Structure 1
Amino acid sequence: MWSAIRLWFDPDEVRSVGNTPDYRFSLANERTFLAWLRTALALIGGGLAVAQFLPAHRLREVMAVSLFALGGLVAIRAVDHWARSERAIRLGEALPPSRFPAVLAIVVAVGAGALLVATLL
């Protein structure tokens, strides 16, 4: 686990394996990483909006904290996926599969349903 985390912070560690890829692949990987970070920021912003604008209710607190936690999880997942993908690109391997986008979509859909219920209450 610690070796994976070290990849997040040490660019030389990522570059130490495989061959230097066509820069377009690395830049595409970086754009994907930034898109995930935008998603994380949107979730955190949604948590702030829920905390500020929904009427005082226990569901409001649960939803706000859930959105904050989900935003943090997405940010961590983004950097991990970036590092694993960059390594795979450099080694000429298949990109690592991920179920995270599907899980995130389901969680967001459930959260939207909870927001609908909270708004109607």
Structure 2
Amino acid sequence: MSENPQRGRLSSRLLSRGQEPDPRFTLANERTFLAWIRTALAFLAGGVAVEAFAADVFEDPYRTIISVLTIGVGLLISVGAALRWLNIERSMRQGRPLPMPLIIPLLSFACGVAMAVVIVLVVLT
């Protein structure tokens, strides 16, 4: 495998096969990645906000659990966004169909669980 002189070592290693796609598609993939990162940051901020400002709503152990779970979802979304960006970029370069977005069911499931936990805690307290 020869290194592409126009790319760094890491990008040559991660994107070694195929042809360079149309820059518009690569930039669209990057915009989607950044949108997922914004979502991950929102979850991070939400987890911090719950821990900092929800003392009147949730007791201490419950508040901490909700915060950690919310921040954990943000972490999973950010890792999933990076993997999705890489998989799509590789698919475009190799002319393969785009992979199914597995990050969307993860986010939907996590939001559903979070809402159920909050509803149960609000009803119980």
Q: Settle same-fold status: TM greater than 0.5.
A: yes
Query: Shift of the alpha carbon at 1:119?
Result: 4.5
| AA at the equivalent of 2:108 | A
Task: In structure 1, give the amino acid aligned to 2:61.
Answer: R
Give per-residue Cα distances to partners, 1:32-81, cap 9 Å, x unaligned: 11011111100000000110111233211111011111111111111111
Between the aligned residues of both structures, percent identity stands at 36
Among candidates 85, 95, 99, match of residue 96 of structure 1? 99
Greater gyration radius:
2
What is the CA–CA distance in structure 1 between the aligned matches of 2:39 and 2:10, rounded to whole Å? 24
Number of residues paired by the alignment? 113
Moved more, 70-79 or 53-62: 53-62
Aligned residue for 2:34, secondary structure, equals helix
| Residue 3 of structure 2: aligned partner | none
In 2, Cα distance between the equivalents of 1:111 and 1:15? 36
Contact kept, 8 Å, 1:14 with 1:86, in 2: the verdict is: no
Choose between structure 1 and 2: higher helix proportion: 1
1:60 pairs with 2:70: no
Q: Which residues of structure 1 form unaligned runs of 5+?
A: 1-8
Q: Deviations over 1:64-105 (max 9, x none)?
A: 011111111111111111111100000010111233212211
Distance 2:110 2:44 in 1: 14
Q: How far has the Cα of 1:23 moved from its partner?
A: 0.6
**What is the RMSD computed on CA atoms of the aligned residues?**
1.8
Partner of 1:108: 111
Large movers: runs of 4+ above 4 Å = none
CA distance in 2, matches of 1:63, 1:11: 37
TM-score normalized with structure 2 length:
0.81
Structure 1 distance, partners of 2:12, 2:91, is 15
> Paired residue for 2:25?
25
